């Protein structure tokens, strides 16, 4: 791909290159057509793992469908995938609302994760079948569905997750209309036909642009609200309410915040590989990594704050509920997972991301992001596996009197976890073949709104902030 722009990868606040709009369109649309051998090999590998994971999920349901204590790892996986695939698209809207210019070129990568929500839905289906109803043997368990019908968690969680995926896709599609038009105008074959069909007659009139911005704002706001709601349901109905006596008001927020943290980490990883292997250095500036690094750092601190706020109340509270909850989730069978999660989700990323020099680079940022995702997976296992390991006949107790034995993952669980993660990566990679990985119109808007200027004896950037 012949580049007509100048790369500025060595500078932090690099002034945007003066790239002709037509060149931007052609270069970015061309990224959908060229795939290296390595890319194809990865796609095949991930695809095979995804299929293996789905098959393992079906086999597990047939084999262990009547024993809820064996489904903790799948519950942890649902929570993990929701965090990654649900949290990432937030990067496409939260900084945009705050009028941050750096985020414009990378909103597409973030919103591609909306499609990966399908992986969460696949994992949720057997779990919904296994989740006990609210009333068993005449007794109603503790729940946020106080007087609601017995299968409320099952119905509303599924519906809200479907709604979340739908809204995420609509958010993606609303922002992608001009790019489909670019594909229509700059592509050939099936991509051109697809672009023509999905662009819905986009020619860029004032009315179309106004409608586009309104839709992004509307779907973005809905997406955020639904995401918080889904996190609330999954963390409560599929976690907290499975354990007698576990009453933790901050847990849904903790779950949501760690989801945002994972989402940003996933975007950093996707950004890194796109930049490196699709040769997009001149469009993905280091400024984006720097800003994402600050966001990730803030979320890492927020994670430990939420964790500690909960922990100290249990620790000092010393009621039977508090002691049992601590024994189950922290001091008991999950103590090593607790320390590993603490180190990987907070201490190591905090120590990596605190350095400005690190945030100005890409390599350490991507390492930090991988560490966060590993830490999150362990943390989800720490919370959901013990919660599901509580036998069904104890669910109505006042508090947990006997801490269950550690449940180790079996071959199904390992395949399901590998398959679930692979499916997310597979979907995102496949989507880069359908639409440019960077939003063409937002790259152009970024270039239009940021202008390098001389400031006294130095350099600065003049960033326009339209209403």
Partner 1 sequence: MQQRRELDQVYTNRKLLNGQLDTPKWWLPTVSILGVVVLIGVIVIATMINKGLGLTGLARPVYWGLFITTFVFWVGISHAGIMISAILRLTQAEWRRPVTRAAELLTVFSLLTALVFPLIHAGRPWRIAYWIMPYDVARGIYPNIRSPLIMDPVAISTYLTGSTLFLYIALIPDLGNLRDRTTGWKNAMYTVLALGWRGNPRQWKMQTVGGILLSALMLPIFVSVHSIVSWDFAIASAVEGWHSTIFAPYFVIGAVHSGVSAVVTMMALMRWLWKWDDFIRPEHFDALARLLIVVATGWLAFTFLELTFALYGQDAPEIALREMQMFQWPWNALFIVFFLTGYAIPVPMWCFKRVRTNIALMFWTSILVNVGMWLERFLIIVPGLARRTPFVYTWEAYTPSPVEWTIFIWSFAWVTFLMLLFSKFFPLVPLFEQKESQVFTDDVMIGRAKVPAIVREAD
List residues binding partner 1 (CB under 8 A).
Answer: 11-13, 15, 142-144, 146, 228, 247-253, 305-306, 309-310, 312-314, 316-319, 322, 448-449, 451-453, 455, 458-467
Query: Which residue has tokens 């210019």?
Result: 101
Nearer to partner 1, 125 or 448 (CB): 448
Q: Do the bridges between strand 139-140 and strand 450-455 make them parallel or antiparallel, or are there none, so unpaired?
A: unpaired
The Cα–Cα gap between 319 and 317 comes to 6
Nearer to partner 1, 104 or 142 (CB): 142
Cα-based angle 190, 433, 117 (whole degrees, multiple of 5): 115
The Cα–Cα gap between 81 and 260 comes to 12
Nearer to partner 1, 128 or 449 (CB): 449
Least distance between partner 1 and beta carbon 227 (Å): 12
Least distance between partner 1 and beta carbon 4 (Å): 23
Least distance between partner 1 and beta carbon 175 (Å): 20
| Residue 206 burial (CB count, 10 A) | 7
Nearer to partner 1, 48 or 313 (CB): 313
Nearer to partner 1, 322 or 413 (CB): 322
Nearer to partner 1, 72 or 252 (CB): 252
The answer to whether residues 264 and 376 touch, using CB atoms and an 8 Å cutoff, is: no
The Cα–Cα gap between 78 and 384 comes to 10
What the block records as the tokens of 239 is 């976690």
The answer to whether residues 296 and 335 touch, using CB atoms and an 8 Å cutoff, is: no
Torsion sign, CA atoms 226, 227, 233, 236 = negative
What the block records as the tokens of 333 is 């069978």
Least distance between partner 1 and beta carbon 447 (Å): 11
Least distance between partner 1 and beta carbon 356 (Å): 11
The answer to whether residues 100 and 465 touch, using CB atoms and an 8 Å cutoff, is: no
Least distance between partner 1 and beta carbon 90 (Å): 14
Least distance between partner 1 and beta carbon 99 (Å): 10
Non-local (6+) Cβ contacts of 106 within 8 A are: 91, 267, 271, 284, 288, 438
The Cα–Cα gap between 227 and 262 comes to 14
Nearer to partner 1, 213 or 318 (CB): 318
Least distance between partner 1 and beta carbon 280 (Å): 21
Q: What is the CA radius of gyration of the chain?
A: 23
Nearest to 31 by CA among 286, 288, 281: 281
Nearer to partner 1, 414 or 448 (CB): 448
């Amino acid at each position: 791909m012949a580049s007509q722009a100048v790369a500025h990868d060595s500078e932090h606040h690099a002034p945007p290159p003066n790239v002709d709009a037509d060149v931007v369109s052609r270069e970015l649309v061309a990224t959908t057509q060229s795939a290296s051998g390595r890319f194809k090999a990865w796609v095949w590998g991930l695809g095979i793992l995804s299929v293996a994971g789905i098959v393992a999920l079906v086999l597990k349901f047939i084999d262990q469908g009547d024993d809820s204590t064996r489904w903790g790892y799948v519950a942890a996986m649902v929570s993990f995938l929701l965090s990654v695939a649900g949290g990432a698209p937030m990067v496409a809207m939260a900084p945009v609302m705050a009028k941050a210019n750096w985020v414009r070129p990378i909103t597409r990568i973030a919103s591609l994760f909306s499609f990966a929500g399908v992986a969460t839905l696949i994992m949720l289906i057997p779990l919904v079948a296994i989740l006990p109803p609210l009333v068993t043997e005449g007794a109603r368990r503790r729940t946020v569905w106080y007087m609601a019908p017995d299968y409320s968690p099952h119905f509303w969680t599924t519906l809200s997750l479907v709604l979340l995926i739908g809204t995420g896709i609509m958010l993606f599609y609303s922002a992608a209309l001009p790019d489909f038009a670019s594909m229509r105008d700059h592509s050939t074959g099936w991509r051109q036909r697809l672009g023509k069909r999905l662009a819905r007659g986009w020619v860029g009139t004032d009315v179309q642009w106004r409608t586009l911005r309104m839709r992004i704002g509307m779907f973005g706001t809905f997406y955020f609200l639904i995401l918080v709601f889904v996190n609330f349901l999954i963390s409560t109905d599929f976690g907290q309410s499975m354990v007698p006596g576990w009453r933790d008001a901050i847990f849904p927020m903790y779950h949501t915040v760690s989801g945002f943290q994972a989402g940003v980490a996933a975007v950093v990883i996707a950004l890194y590989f796109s930049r490196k292997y699709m040769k997009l250095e001149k469009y993905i500036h280091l400024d984006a990594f720097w800003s994402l690094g600050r966001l990730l750092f803030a979320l890492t601190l927020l994670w430990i704050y939420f964790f500690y706020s909960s922990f100290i109340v249990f620790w000092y509270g010393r009621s039977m509920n508090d002691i049992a909850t601590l024994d189950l989730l922290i001091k008991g069978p999950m103590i090593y997972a607790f320390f590993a999660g603490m180190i990987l989700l907070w201490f190591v990323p905090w120590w990596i991301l605190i350095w400005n020099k690190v945030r100005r680079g890409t390599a350490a940022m991507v390492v930090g992001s991988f560490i966060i995702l590993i830490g999150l997976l362990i943390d989800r296992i720490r919370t959901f596996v013990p919660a599901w390991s509580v036998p069904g006949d104890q669910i109505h107790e006042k508090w947990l009197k006997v801490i269950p034995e550690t449940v180790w993952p079996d071959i199904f669980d390992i395949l399901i976890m590998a398959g679930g993660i692979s499916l997310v990566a597979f979907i995102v990679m496949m989507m880069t073949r359908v639409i440019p990985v960077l939003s063409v119109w937002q790259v152009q808007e970024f270039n239009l709104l940021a202008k390098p200027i001389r400031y006294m004896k130095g350099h600065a950037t003049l960033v326009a902030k339209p209403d």
